[in-house]
Amino acid sequence: MSISILGAGAFGTSLAISLALGGRDVTLWARDNSAIETMRDTRENAARLPGAKLPDNIKLTSDIGDLTDNIVLLAVPMQRLRDVLSKAPALHGKTLVACCKGIELTTGEGPVEVIRSVAPIATPAILTGPSFAADIAKGLPTALTLACDDETALKDLQAELMAPNLRIYRTSDATGAELGGALKNVMAIACGAVMGAGLGESARASLITRGFAEMNRMALALGSKPDTLSGLSGFGDLILTCTSPQSRNYSFGFALGNGADFDRNITVEGAATARATLQKAQTLKIEMPITQMVVALLDQKLSVREAMNELLARPPKEE
């Protein structure tokens, strides 16, 4: 079977390479035709994934009408997902697999919810978990979670997305999977800020642990299964994103912590997600103090040390 990928950023390109090397024919779409022409000529996405060669069985296109496969991976930023889908009605009857992580700022919806909202006749799913595009493109071993409420479609989709270096685990808990992928980015900003400010590894370990508790509180309140966030889509992704400078969210937080400039052209999903999460938490009356501190940092209402002091000064409680 062939597979289409909408979005030729680093992650979309890396998935295209992995699936193509696994024997799939892949159509990779980007809206910038000049970028597509360059990629055709060089067989490389030098702007997003330098050094990674594109196999011959990857077709490159800027015409969304070329995405004719039944399975389409949506590798676009979370805050653009609704707009992209709204402009591509031909995709609405297909199996649409979100490969982005976050919560939409305007609606509070996750990727699967956005797909359901814009394309109600589609079969929505999400592919998420601890993964860096550069690792996948190099053929390094990576395990991901595939979530879809339709269990029959889920098993077929799992088989189609497996590749030599990609091990795919499945779950029917799409809510939990999308929340794990979204909320870990908020915690990664917090951990980056702590390390950037020189507050130490012990502080980071505490934030990871208590951040995981926050993630679970929201996931359970929204109907997730209790064990979903203990897997790759939650705990696994949290550990990777909170400990590696390859993470854009961690690096953004690190820059916040040490007062350095950060490239505004780099997408940091956790910033919008933090604000959307805090709004949702307030509506649900859920305590999420780390998320609240991240928003305060983003709004420049507190310094990192002031935010940490507020967290440390919270009333004693049972773990």
Q: Which residues are catalytic?
A: 184
Q: Are 231 and 182 in contact (CB under 8 A)?
A: no
Q: Which one, of 225, 205, 207, lies nearest residue 216 by Cα? A: 225
Task: Tell me how far CA of residue 100 lies from CA of 73, 81, 256, in angstroms.
Answer: 10, 8, 23
How far from 206 is each of 242, 295, 312, CA to CA, in Å? Answer: 12, 19, 11
The Cα–Cα gap between 10 and 6 comes to: 12
**Cβ partners under 8 Å of residue 298, min gap 6:** 189, 256, 271, 274, 275
What sign results for the dihedral spanned by CA atoms 125, 123, 270, 5?
positive
Reference 195, options 254, 259, 255; nearest CA is 254
Fill in the amino acid letter for 211: G
List of residues 6+ apart from 292 with CB closer than 8 A: 278, 281
Could you tell me the two tokens for 290? Answer: 């780390």
Q: For residue 41, count CB atoms less than 10 angstroms from its CB and return exposed for 0-12, middle for 13-18, buried for 19 or more.
A: exposed
E strand or H helix at 169: strand 166-171
Residue 50 class from Cβ within 10 Å (0-12 exposed, 13-18 middle, 19+ buried)? exposed
Amino acid at 241: T
Rounded CA-CA distance 15/12 in Å is: 5
User: Rounded to whole angstroms, how far apart are CA atoms 32 and 62?
Assistant: 6
